[in-house]
Structure 1
Amino acid sequence: MATVAVQTTVAPAIARLRAMPKFNPDQHLVGALPAKKMTMQELGFEEDVGVSPVAVSDPFQLFTAEAVKFMRGEVFRVPEKYKFSSNIAKSQLRGYAKDCAPFTWDAWNHPATIALMSKIAEVELVPAMPYEIAHINLSAKSKEDAQQELAQYQEQNRRYQEDEGIGGCREVVETPIVGWHTDSYPFVCVLMMSDVGDMVGGETAIRTADGKILKMRGPSQGCAVLMQGRYITHQAMRALGAQERITSVTSFRPKSALFKDDTELRTVRGVSDLNELYYDFAEYRLKLLQEQIQHERERVAAARRTGEGFATTAHKQFLKRVIAFSNQSSHELVEQSEVQQGYIERVDWPDAAIDL
């Protein structure tokens, strides 16, 4: 009897697992390259800012409609414990992919996806850490509200056209879905998961080094934008006329331990399961530290074998870098009791506006 009961309980779960779609890059990854990319220098930054010359890409088709459908299905089944909100973003899902979104997890971790990110970034990348796979930003409204705001936009646009701008206002200011911020990780890939064909707005606003605002065209469903978000202040602008705007943000960092890694946890501590976040951060930082030390050890051993004099200055510089790296890791691991949940330090600049 006990055996029969166990089989009855487990069988439906096994059937569901077998029915779940599997990520197949030949079927689900479009992998189109962006038409163009903007460099950090074009945004006014110095050459040594960032980990790549690439600042931000044009939107590019990343995943197929079927892939996005599967990802959306996983998003709408996420348990409450993965849901967060903050003073700059009202509704987010974080850390869910590893535990309850196998298709999404495989899609972002597949070598073909990572190779594409690296090609666009012009530096070999890897996902920053498991907890940052497919962070979700959600914004939703009723059909009536969406239609009303679009009608208001169209009326303002009509008045502006009639008076040729003499008495009208050229811009409609709307509270953004995510306020001005920099990201915690060197690169972020923002994937649009909503049908935004009829919406107005939805761009990503970015600030240049001298404070000017540029608006990058928002991607359509299944399209993505890759950006050095750690170094560029940006915000996600609201979409007028759309009932929902769901974006998936996956963070990346350089694979090589020889690249600088100035990841900050400042923008994610308050919206995270700190145990999971800190374990991931500690593990990958220790791995980088181990690789840095191994590389220097091999360099020292090779120099000795070839009879070179000991490079005291170079080795002391390495030790200083290791100390700085370790100090930064320590600085980011704020005691859990001191972290204010739901609060993220916001950049105090006026929001960008939606163009008419």
Structure 2
Amino acid sequence: MPGSIAVLTDAPVAAVAPHKAPHVIGPKQRNPMRPTAVIPQEIIDEARAVPVEAWNPKKHVAPKTQVVQHLMKDIGLEGHGISPIAVTDPFPLFTEEAIGQIRREIFSESVLRECRFKSDFNANMVRGMGHERAPFTYDAWWSPEILSRVSEAAGIELVPAFDYEVANVNISINDQNAPEVVTYGDQTSAVAWHYDSFPFVCVTMAADCTGMVGGETAIKLPNGEERRVRGPAMGTCVVMQGRYIYHQALKAFGGRERIAMVTAFRPKSPFVRDETILTGSRVISHISELYPQYIEYRLSNLEERFRRALQQEKRRQVERKKFDITAMRAFLTEQLEYIQTSLNEVYEPDADYTPLDN
């Protein structure tokens, strides 16, 4: 009923998800690991030679263009997820100057020393850089201008899931990573078919794609049909509701390197359904940083939900309206599920767990 505390969404009715999010399969390793792949010194030196600039949206945000959006209902997933938008075609997000600054931070000494990880999904990645190591990158992704572009493309107001998930950078140098990545026999894919752990992702190309062929995103529909979204060019991005869409990244051939920057997003409103989990992140992270950030935003959402419920209950008493037992139980059940999910995601690692040095 309108105004009931059981309704926990500020999103349009069509965006409310009656279906549970799919099961996510994460990396099979038990401990975080460093990559063995070597990044050519030429690439590192080029990145570090870029003069330092502060984030400036007037200079670093790409001119706005029309975004082509594909709907969930068009791929057989109407009613799933938190938005009617499934995925976009690539559209400009960052200028070449912005990408240069981001690459400068990705290939900085401290980031390469402390923030490199690998898994059986991706053999060479940088993640968890943090604002101290990568101020330009973090100022960019948290800027109102970029958040507005991403949210408009997604059809719902979004924010980065939390700082650790800003700019997860997948690095491939002339396909040198291919033998280490599990693709289950599919020689055309860079990563196996999977669901993401976060509601939305924004995948931005941070490399010159001249001479590159492939790199599309493949989507598998419920009926088994496959569709492809063309690969992005440097500075352009694809926004996708990856928590609810079965997808894979196809290999790119040609070009010197492929550097894809993936930032995970969640709903900004605490009242929108949020099925964020840590399955895909836990063993490719410093959990001493990952867990507190995850729990902080979850507690913040719960705080806002209970505050509004209390306000509504006080108003009900003043207005002498009948207490709605069904609505209250629905509200409490939803919060219980949210707490249980949080509890399931934050647990003590196995006794043989070995963290990496920061």
Equivalent residue, structure 1, for 2:319: 306
Could you tell me which amino acid in structure 2 is paired with residue 137 of structure 1? N
- Matching residue's letter, 2:142: N
Alignment of 1:199-348 (within 5 A): 199-337=212-350
Does the CA-based 8 Å contact 1:274-1:336 persist in structure 2? no
- For 2:135 and 2:229, the matched residues in 1 are separated by 31
Gaps of 5+ in 2: 1-47, 177-185
SS of residue matched to 1:252:
strand
Paired position in structure 2 for 1:96: 129
User: Which of 148, 171, 175 is equivalent to 1:115?
Assistant: 148
Structure 2 residue identity aligned to 1:53: P
Name the SS of the counterpart of 1:276 in structure 2. helix
Task: Quote the residue 1:189 is aligned against.
Answer: 202
Structure 1 CA distance for aligned equivalents of residues 354 and 193 of structure 2 = 19
- After superposition, give the CA deviation of every residue in 1:275-301 in whole Å (9 maximum; x if it has no partner): 111011000000001011011111111
In structure 2, relative to structure 1, the CA distance for the partners of 1:264 and 1:196 (3 Å cut) is same
1:53 aligns with 2:66: no
1:131 is matched with 164
Structure index of larger Rg = 1
Residues 59 and 225, structure 1, Cα contact 8 Å, conserved in 2:
yes
Deviation, structure 1 residue 46:
3.3
Shift of 1:76: 0.9
Question: 8 Å contact 2:126–2:168 — kept in the other structure?
Answer: yes
Q: Which runs of 5+ in 1 are unaligned?
A: 1-15, 146-172, 343-356
Amino acid at match of 2:104: G
Which of 39, 50, 63 does residue 71 from structure 2 map onto? Answer: 39
Q: CA deviation at 1:237?
A: 1.3
Identical-pair percentage: 40
> Distance in 1 between the 2:188 and 2:354 partners?
22
Higher helix share: 1
Q: CA deviation at 1:177?
A: 2.6
Tell me how large the CA RMSD over aligned residues is: 2.0
Structure 1 pair 341/202, CA: closer, same or farther in 2 (3 Å)? farther
Q: How many residues align?
A: 295
Q: How does 1:135-174 map to 2 (within 5 A)?
A: 135-141=168-174, 174=187
Q: Normalized against structure 1, the TM-score is what?
A: 0.79
Deviations 1:313-355 (A, max 9, x none): 211111111111100110111322279789xxxxxxxxxxxxx
- Aligned partners of 1:94 and 1:135 also within 8 Å: yes
2:98 paired residue number: 67
Per the TM alignment, residue 81 of structure 1 is displaced from its structure 2 partner at its CA by: 2.1
Post-superposition offset of 1:29: 0.5
Task: Report the AA paired with residue 38 of structure 1.
Answer: H
